[in-house]
Amino acid sequence: MTRLIFVRHCEAEGNTKGILQGRTDCDISGNSAVQLELVSLRLRNESFASIYSSPLKRAFKTAQAINQYHHLPIQIDPRLSEIDIGSWEGHPWEEIERENSPMVKIWNESPGQFRAEGGESMKEVYDRVWAAAMEIAGANRETTVCVVSHGCAIRNLLCHALGWPVNRIGEIGWCDNTAVSVVDFDDGLRAHVVRMNDDSHLPSELSVYRRDGADLSDAEAVAP
């Protein structure tokens, strides 16, 4: 059995400031220091054979924090990056709701059909993240691997791992900053979802969802 433990990055500037950050390389901020300490402690006794990360700063710094107990090279895979939201990048969610309500409606109600102007479609994210997961699982058979990525990317990954088409992605809940999801792969690389979006290591005051409800500011929280 091969186990991939997916971790969403810690709180970043886009989350704190209410700005859509997709591929924008925001730094970490807000509650990030405490979130990183808690998720690192949670995962300190995992016998990771490898650690993979999105190249974006908020994910890589999360991987570095987790790695303080494992001392492994962090392998960068661009396919683990967040959705490219094109013309929405760097804009406040309130502005997007006001100026592009038809596309926001698709994002909220039919996310599997979403395509960002100048960016990616949800199906493209669904395909590339799964390709990365399969390659990572295939290269690390019979081990446990940490994979640090982003909200929308992990949502797509879980949708695929459940055997669902992308048009069912709306049934997958959004994960909190540093939430943990676990997917096991058998010898035939068939996936089994063990845990989804578990943020039990965070007290409510450090949780976007339990503190304030859904974080509509992040192209990876409520938007990816």
Strand order in the sheet with 2-8: 74-76, 48-53, 144-149, 2-8, 180-185, 191-198
pLDDT at 18: 81
pTM for the structure as a whole = 0.92
pLDDT at 94: 87
Least confident among 4-13, 66-75, 84-93: 84-93
Neighbours of 26 (CB within 10 A): 20
Question: Per the structure block, which two tokens stand in for 58?
Answer: 């908020």
Q: Over the chain, what is the mean pLDDT? A: 92
Residues 181-224: tens digit of each pLDDT: 999 999 999 999 999 999 999 999 888 766 654 443 344 443 33
Residues 151-180: tens digit of each pLDDT: 999 999 999 999 999 999 999 998 999 999
For residue 24, what pLDDT band results from cuts at 50, 70 and 90? very high
pLDDT at 5: 98
Question: Per the structure block, which two tokens stand in for 137?
Answer: 């699982």
pLDDT at 211: 61
Average pLDDT over residues 101-120: 92
Which residues does 190 contact at the CB level (< 8 Å), separation at least 6?
none
Q: What is the DSSP letter of 73?
A: P
pLDDT at 212: 54
